[in-house]
Amino acid sequence: MNVLFLCTGNSCRSVLAEAIFRHLAPEPLTAMSAGSHPAGYVHPRALALLEREGLSTEGLASKSWDDLPTRPEIVITLCASAAGETCPAYIGPAVRSHWGVADPARATGSETEIEQAFRDAYRIIRHRIETFLALPLPILAKDPVRLKIELDAIGALTPDRAPSRRA
């Protein structure tokens, strides 16, 4: 099962999701990330956060959805459409779900507040991926309607304020 995490710029949230999913998911589950208008770089704060959390940053890059190495079975958008962001619409056969997360790259304020925005995004994404991976995926893979319902419900989840767990 190939999962695509999709944002507009593919510089932060979708890259965080790709790294978290790769770290947590058993084979044969795979993850990739892309953007409809890639920024061309991965946000340095996102990379630093992943390293602090003990996740590999090897191979992470901002890339276009036109350059996907394989066709995804699941596409999860992470843009915060409620904040006025334009969310890319993936065209192609796939189960689609939206897991909106505020863009920490747009955070303003003190260094502490900006770092907190990155930690919050990481925590939300990780919680949702952990919940996704706890689903009965072999069963849901045969029922795309039920899989979409489950994925959409996960997109509304937020973790408690407990500190993130290290790998």
Contact status, residue 43 vs residue 105, Cβ threshold 8 Å: yes
Q: Which of 3, 7, 147, 154 is catalytic?
A: 7
Q: Which of 3, 49, 76, 79 is catalytic?
A: 79
Going across the sheet that includes 95-98, the strands are 30-35, 2-7, 74-77, 95-98
Backbone φ, ψ for residue 45 (5° rounding)? -65, -35
Q: Which of 39, 87, 94, 114 is catalytic?
A: 87
For residues 101 and 156, give the distance between their C-alpha atoms in angstroms, rounded to a whole number.
10
12 in active site: no
Residues 6+ apart with CB under 8 A from 87: 8, 77, 79, 81, 98, 100
Sign (positive/negative) of CA torsion 44, 163, 123, 26?
Answer: positive
For residues 68 and 97, give the distance between their C-alpha atoms in angstroms, rounded to a whole number.
18
CA angle (135 as vertex; 132, 139 as ends), nearest 5: 130
Task: Report, as residue numbers or ranges, the catalytic residues.
Answer: 7, 79, 87
